[in-house]
Amino acid sequence: MPHDHADHLSPSGHPYRPDDDVPLSYWQAMEIAVRELLVEKGEVTAEEIARQIDAMDARSPADGAAVVARAWTDPAFKARLLKDASAASREMGYDIGALKLIAVENTASVHNVVVCTLCSCYPRNLLGLPPDWYKSRAYRSRVVKAPRAVLREFGVELPQDVTIRVHDSTADMRYIVLPERPAGTEALDAGAMAALVTRDSMIGTGLPRTPT
Amino acid sequence: MARPPVTERNATRSDEETSAPSLAGRVRVAAMMPPGHVRTPAYLRGKTGTIERALGAFANPEKLAYGLPAEKRRLYRVRFTMDELWGAEAETPGDTLDAEIYDHWLERVAD
């Protein structure tokens, strides 16, 4: 018999996943304590905290994709984006708060990739929460030393004559990669173009999709 | 309901500029290993690179992390070659790594 405990099987015939009943970590307990104290002292309300969580959850790579697609179709906007990516994002109506954003441009001879070796800095206010692998020790320690090997694992093989520029977000700035516009997109409108821009292509671990 | 004012330790003093001279060209990252919250990764300490651009002045995170009054420090993007960082172990010596480094970690190097 594949599963011994027939009374513990789900209707699909597989065992139930065990409950995630682990104790809180030190930092989780501290976060709850500080949050409850802030509410108790009237610094913030529980509703304001919930609203901020909702606002962060509502952000997604689609926001960044729209910025990239605009840069692909509007040279003046692209120039503004490369000069001040925060201002350009705000100009498109994105509420990015205090985010200080730098856009780095991929070309035929340069490929950019972003990391935060010290923690998990990421342009959350434009792209939403980072993927789990972005925060992993493996990605953070390896991409600064062997970026080509890491990119290969993501399915991106770059020729030796393309220079890789790794960007370590060590302090106050955050980074977004402006990928190269794929060939064969001349007839697409901005919406169709944005659908080609993946999250990973804005981190630099991927390339945009090609139109089908 | 009116909120209590932001305490002074949280103020970034953004109206103040730093009087430190600005840097350009070749720089070396200090090889010091101070304790505490430091935004200079260990793998860049003692390494030489080139200032890619100046970013302006920001409150020193080494003070902010402890709720101390934080003076403004100039912040730079410094570009290193993989050859400089990893020597013979570099995957492709001419690839580069850019990082943001505060000026109190940088010293000028002759070009």
A67 lies in the same domain as A34: no
A114 lies in the same domain as A167: yes
Evaluate whether residue A95 is within a structural domain: yes
Domain interval for residue A35? 6-57
User: What average pLDDT score do residues B35-62 get?
Assistant: 96
Q: Which residue has the higher pLDDT, B8 or A41?
A: A41
The pLDDT tens digits of the residues spanning A145-200 come to 999 999 999 999 999 999 999 999 999 999 999 999 999 999 999 999 999 999 99
A74 lies in the same domain as A164: yes
In order of start, what are the domains of chain B with their CATH numbers? 8-14+24-108 (2.30.30.50)
User: What average pLDDT score do residues B23-49 get?
Assistant: 95
Q: Which of B43, B61, B92 sits opposite A171 (nearest CB)?
A: B61
Separation in Å, CA of B25 to nearest CA in chain A: 18
Residue A204 has pLDDT above 90, yes or no: yes
Test B92 with A164 for CB contact under 8 angstroms.
yes
CB contacts, 8 Å: B94 with chain A: 163
A52 lies in the same domain as A67: no
Q: Cβ–Cβ contacts within 10 Å for residue B34, how many?
A: 10
User: How many structural domains does chain A have?
Assistant: 2
Evaluate whether residue A179 is within a structural domain: yes
A77 lies in the same domain as A135: yes
Residue A7 has pLDDT above 50, yes or no: yes
B28 has which bridge partners?
Answer: B48, B107
A96 lies in the same domain as A108: yes
ipTM at complex level = 0.86
Evaluate whether residue A75 is within a structural domain: yes
Cα–Cα distance measured from residue B51 to residue B53, given in angstroms and rounded to the nearest whole number: 6
A184 lies in the same domain as A121: yes
pLDDT interval class at A81 (50, 70, 90): very high
A75 lies in the same domain as A43: no
A191 lies in the same domain as A111: yes
pLDDT interval class at A141 (50, 70, 90): very high
Which pLDDT belongs to residue A11?
85
User: What average pLDDT score do residues A79-96 get?
Assistant: 96
CATH number for the domain that contains residue A172:
3.90.330.10
pLDDT interval class at B12 (50, 70, 90): very low
A79 lies in the same domain as A146: yes
Least reliable range by pLDDT among A172-181, B5-14, B33-42: B5-14
A91 lies in the same domain as A187: yes
Test B4 with A163 for CB contact under 8 angstroms.
no
Q: Which residues contact A195 (CB under 8 A, 6 or more apart)?
A: A65, A209
Which pLDDT belongs to residue A6?
55
Cα–Cα distance measured from residue B96 to residue B78, given in angstroms and rounded to the nearest whole number: 10
A73 lies in the same domain as A28: no
Separation in Å, CA of A41 to nearest CA in chain B: 10
DSSP state of B7: P
Residue A14 has pLDDT above 50, yes or no: yes
Q: Integer distance in angstroms from the first to the last C-alpha of chain B?
A: 58
Evaluate whether residue A73 is within a structural domain: yes
Q: Which residues contact B50 (CB under 8 A, 6 or more apart)?
A: B25, B26, B27, B78, B79
